[in-house]
Amino acid sequence: MAFDQILLARAQFAFTISFHIIFPAFTIGLSAYIATVLVMWLVTGREHYHRLARFWTKIFAVSFAMGVVSGIVLSYQFGTNWSRFSVVVGNVVAPLIGYEVLTAFFLEATFLGVMLFGWRRVPPWLHVLSAICVAAGTSMSAFWILAANSWMQTPAGHEVRDGIAYPLDWFAIIFNPSFPYRFAHMLTAAYLTTSFVVLAVGARYLVAGRHLDEARTMLRMAVGFIAIVAPLQLVIGDQHGLNTLVHQPVKIAAIEAHWDGSKPGDLVLFAWPDDKAETNHYEIAIPRGASLVLRHDPNGLFEGLNSVPAADRPPVAPAFFAFRAMVGIGFVMIAAGLIGVALWWRGRLFDTRWYLALASQGWWIGFVAVIAGWTVTESGRQPWLATGILRTADSVSPVPAMTIAISLALFVIVYGIVFAMGIYYINRLIARGPEGHAGEAPARGLPNRPLSAAEEAGREMFTASGRPRR
């Protein structure tokens, strides 16, 4: 196969999947958030939860639509651009995608209709249940997609006959060595990504002095969640890395830009990795730091890039730089959570201008971390598409390079328009803010649980002081 074809097909896949992942990364978390807020509304009967849920549901609808249409593209792209891949690993990977459609797509797509249009048509419990079904669907979808991707990273439970992979043990295929770590890492990443969007919107309203009830709820929920989950993500990510060290040592070597495996690894903070010269330029490193992190021993050894022939190595720079971007953002997230909780503790969360100003601008950091993380894991798997089974270069369809180039250009134009307008419209929805009055919904179904005025006032006093229960 011609070089151009492979490069173009890869560029097209990288582009369409990077575009796609933005939306699931957001909607997995957002659907869970909406379901949570709706359950809180059912339990407490407080109207601002309902306004909050309706507000985020509108944003969810826009994001979900973009996620759906860009996801359909991917399910056909395996065939259009990667037909050899479809045949060689189809017996193993395709059923996982099939299960995704059956367990997740139908669930989320069908109940989305109730979630969006059922506000006045169905009783509240059914509406809340639909939101939960959508949230469950999005997570289930992630389960199967990550099972398929993890199998491509660390294949198990199969045998290869005449160059084609055949399944032997479905349990081993689904729960392949890297799957539990990747699934936990990605799901947590999705939740964190959404938390930072919620945080930003809440902070934006507080700065502007609008929608204060909703804004405080958003801020408290986001800060509380980030403070707990961002540090947890560091632990999950570390475990994921140790798992990768066992199963894909060359990927770790690329991440650490570690060339010579006979010496302990330095923790390279910055460098310019040079694939040809097999060394790093302009390196700033903590001596033996990588060995300490990966082996918990400053003299510990781990495989270097030189342990495999150049043809079996991934390009070092993408994994190296993307990993640093991801981890850097991870630490920013941890700091954001801890500072937020500290301010909350002192009762200053809602009036510390600099924190709110920063938070209101930081909605995008989760998305960048997610894309960086995927860049690490996908480029680090190269030159394999399915590790040890099929090389990327042997996977493409017999389609002329020009056809792929034209379709790539069309994808860039169409996605560019759709994405720009989508962001613009989501921003417009945020600018409008949560609307509606207490009496407006639900028009039918269960009445809201009335709260006495005194109780309501008491709640407000509690939330105004903002001090968490000890």
Partner 1 sequence: MEWYLPVIWAALIGVAVAFYVILDGFDLGIGILFPFGENEEERDQMMNSVAPFWDGNETWLVLGGGGLWVAFPQAYAVIMPALYVPVIVMLLALVFRGVAFEFRWIAVTSKKYWNFAFVAGSELAAFAQGVILGGLIQGINVDNGQFAGGPLDWFTPFALLCGCALVAGYALLGATWLVMKTEGAIAANARANAQTLIVVVIGFMAAVSLWTPLAFPRIFERWFSLPNLFYLAPIPIITALVAYAAWRALARGAEYLPFFCAIALFLLGYLGLVISSYPYLVPPSLTVWQTAAAPTSQLFTLIGTAILLPIILFYYGFIYWLFRGKVRPGEGYH
Q: How many CA atoms lie within 13 A of 445 on its CB side?
A: 18
User: Given the complex with partner 1, which of 170 and 272 has the nearer CB atom?
Assistant: 170
**H or E segment to which residue 160 belongs:** strand 158-161
Interaction residues for partner 1, span 388-417 (CB under 8 A): 397-400, 402-403, 407, 410-411, 414-415
Smallest distance from partner 1 to CB 74, Å: 9
18 near partner 1, rule: CB under 8 A = no
The structure tokens listed for 358 are 């920063």
Interaction residues for partner 1, span 86-125 (CB under 8 A): 86-87, 90-92, 94-95, 97-103, 105-107, 109-114, 116-119, 121-122
Instruction: Supply the DSSP symbol for 437.
Output: -
422 near partner 1, rule: CB under 8 A = yes
23 near partner 1, rule: CB under 8 A = no
**H or E segment to which residue 142 belongs:** helix 124-153
Q: Can you tell me the distance from the alpha carbon of 18 to that of 25, in angstroms, rounded to the nearest whole number? A: 11
Residue of 89, 102, 235 whose CA lies nearest to 176: 89
Q: Which residues of 341-379 are buried (b: 16+ CB within 10 A; e: fewer)?
A: bebbeeeebbebeebbeebbebbebbbbbbbbbbbbbbb
Q: Can you tell me the distance from the alpha carbon of 404 to that of 379, in angstroms, rounded to the nearest whole number? A: 21
Smallest distance from partner 1 to CB 64, Å: 8
User: Given the complex with partner 1, which of 236 and 390 has the nearer CB atom?
Assistant: 390
22 near partner 1, rule: CB under 8 A = no
User: Given the complex with partner 1, which of 323 and 415 has the nearer CB atom?
Assistant: 415
Interface region with partner 1, contact rule CB under 8 A, candidates 188-196, 261-269, 312-320, 425-433: 425-433
The structure tokens listed for 364 are 């995008």
Q: Read out DSSP for 273-288?
A: EETTTTEEEEEEEETT
Interaction residues for partner 1, span 48-67 (CB under 8 A): 54, 57-58, 61-62, 64-66
Smallest distance from partner 1 to CB 101, Å: 5
Instruction: Supply the DSSP symbol for 2.
Output: -
The structure tokens listed for 391 are 């090389």
User: Given the complex with partner 1, which of 284 and 414 has the nearer CB atom?
Assistant: 414
371 near partner 1, rule: CB under 8 A = no
Q: Can you tell me the distance from the alpha carbon of 429 to that of 411, in angstroms, rounded to the nearest whole number? A: 26
Residue of 290, 279, 465, 311 whose CA lies nearest to 382: 311
361 near partner 1, rule: CB under 8 A = no
Pairing, β 158-161 against β 164-167: antiparallel
User: Given the complex with partner 1, which of 14 and 338 has the nearer CB atom?
Assistant: 14
User: Count residues contacting partner 1 (CB under 8 A)?
Assistant: 70
Q: Can you tell me the distance from the alpha carbon of 426 to that of 63, in angstroms, rounded to the nearest whole number? A: 8
User: Contact letters (x/-) for partner 1, 154-183, by CB under 8 A?
Assistant: ------------xx--x-------------
Cα distances from 195 to residues 27, 63, 73, 208, 317, in angstroms, run 11, 15, 28, 20, 30
The structure tokens listed for 119 are 């506000």
187 near partner 1, rule: CB under 8 A = no
Q: Residue 41, Cβ neighbours under 10 Å: how many?
A: 24
User: Given the complex with partner 1, which of 42 and 62 has the nearer CB atom?
Assistant: 62
User: Given the complex with partner 1, which of 294 and 390 has the nearer CB atom?
Assistant: 390
Q: Give Cα 89 distance to the centre of its chain.
A: 25
Smallest distance from partner 1 to CB 288, Å: 47
User: Given the complex with partner 1, which of 80 and 307 has the nearer CB atom?
Assistant: 80
Smallest distance from partner 1 to CB 404, Å: 8
User: Given the complex with partner 1, which of 127 and 240 has the nearer CB atom?
Assistant: 127
User: Given the complex with partner 1, which of 76 and 282 has the nearer CB atom?
Assistant: 76
User: Given the complex with partner 1, which of 114 and 293 has the nearer CB atom?
Assistant: 114
Smallest distance from partner 1 to CB 131, Å: 13
The structure tokens listed for 386 are 């399915």
The footprint of partner 1 (CB under 8 A) covers 54, 57-58, 61-62, 64-66, 68-73, 75-76, 78-80, 83-84, 86-87, 90-92, 94-95, 97-103, 105-107, 109-114, 116-119, 121-122, 166-167, 170, 397-400, 402-403, 407, 410-411, 414-415, 418, 421-422, 425, 428-429
